[in-house]
């Protein structure tokens, strides 16, 4: 693990949940459903691998309440911590959750407040596709923290290889470029990144 890419705390952006027959009682919404896939499962798995990799000491999820049935409302962030603990074996000591308004912007408002109180070296993690919009909200709230794609941690811990991600994302030339970028971030996490220009120069020596 590259020490330049390690933090005291990471803030994870929550996602929609649903009830399921799992140990935690929850699953990311749309898990396994190609017609309703926001890749929330990859975000959840990335959170788990991030902690196993030692990227941060603590993960704090920001999320809002979600009505998951006619009679039940559950906080998304709380449910995600339960999935990490009971379905992925993450220690409860490594997790925290905070309530927020029900939107990405709402998540970041809550994160800004927590950041100001904790005053810790921090980063933010979400899905790769979610980073551009999330970072604009962060900028609007004067949040200064790097964003990392959850999928990079799956590559770093070899839970997936690039071709797995390409298949998950639907393949194609744009997907290949996106996955190549995620792979570059994964290499940075491990201290193994080498720019393409440097690779070309080394081949011609």
**pLDDT recorded at residue 149:** 98
Give the number of other CB atoms < 10 A from CB of residue 103. Answer: 11
> 125 - beta bridge partners?
12, 148
Strands 73-75 and 65-67 come out as antiparallel
**pLDDT recorded at residue 31:** 74
The answer to whether the beta carbons of residues 81 and 44 sit under 8 Å apart is no
**pLDDT recorded at residue 205:** 46
The answer to whether the beta carbons of residues 63 and 84 sit under 8 Å apart is no
**pLDDT recorded at residue 79:** 98
Sign of CA dihedral 134, 137, 139, 144: negative
Residue indicated by tokens 């399921």: 20
Q: Which of 162, 78, 178, 80 is nearest to 130 (CA)?
A: 178
The model carries a pTM of 0.92
Q: Which residues of 7-33 are buried (b: 16+ CB within 10 A; e: fewer)?
A: bebbbbbbbbbbeeeeebebbbbbbee
Give the number of other CB atoms < 10 A from CB of residue 51. Answer: 21
For 5-39, write each residue's pLDDT tens digit: 889 999 999 999 999 999 999 999 987 666 678 99
For 52-85, write each residue's pLDDT tens digit: 999 999 999 999 999 999 999 999 999 999 999 9
The answer to whether the beta carbons of residues 61 and 110 sit under 8 Å apart is no
Phi, psi of 185 (to 5 degrees): -65, -40
The answer to whether the beta carbons of residues 189 and 152 sit under 8 Å apart is yes
Strands 56-63 and 26-28 come out as unpaired
**pLDDT recorded at residue 198:** 53
The domain total for the chain is 1
* Residue-range definition of the domain harbouring residue 40: 3-203
For 179-200, write each residue's pLDDT tens digit: 999 999 999 999 998 876 455 4
Q: Is the pLDDT of residue 103 over 90?
A: yes
Higher local confidence (pLDDT), 3 or 182: 182
Q: Is the pLDDT of residue 204 over 60?
A: no
- CATH number of the domain to which 23 belongs: 3.40.50.620
């Amino acid at each position: 693990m590259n020490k330049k890419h390690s933090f005291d705390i990471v803030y994870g952006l929550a996602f929609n949940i649903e009830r399921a027959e799992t140990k935690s009682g929850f699953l990311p919404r749309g898990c396994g459903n190609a017609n309703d896939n926001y890749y929330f499962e990859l975000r959840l798995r990335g959170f788990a691998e991030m902690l196993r990799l030692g990227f941060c000491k603590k993960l704090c999820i920001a999320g809002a309440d979600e009505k998951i049935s006619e009679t039940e409302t559950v906080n998304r962030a709380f449910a995600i911590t339960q999935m990490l603990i009971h379905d992925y074996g993450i220690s409860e000591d490594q997790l925290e959750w905070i309530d927020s308004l029900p939107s990405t912007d709402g998540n970041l408002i809550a994160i800004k407040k927590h950041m100001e109180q904790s005053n810790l070296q921090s980063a933010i993690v979400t899905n790769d596709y979610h980073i551009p919009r999330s970072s604009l909200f962060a900028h609007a709230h004067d949040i200064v923290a790097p964003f990392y794609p959850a999928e990079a941690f799956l590559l770093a811990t070899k839970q997936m290889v690039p071709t797995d991600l390409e298949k998950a994302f639907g393949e194609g030339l744009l997907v290949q470029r996106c996955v190549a970028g995620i792979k570059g971030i994964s290499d940075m996490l491990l201290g193994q990144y080498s720019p393409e220009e440097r690779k070309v120069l080394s081949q011609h020596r």
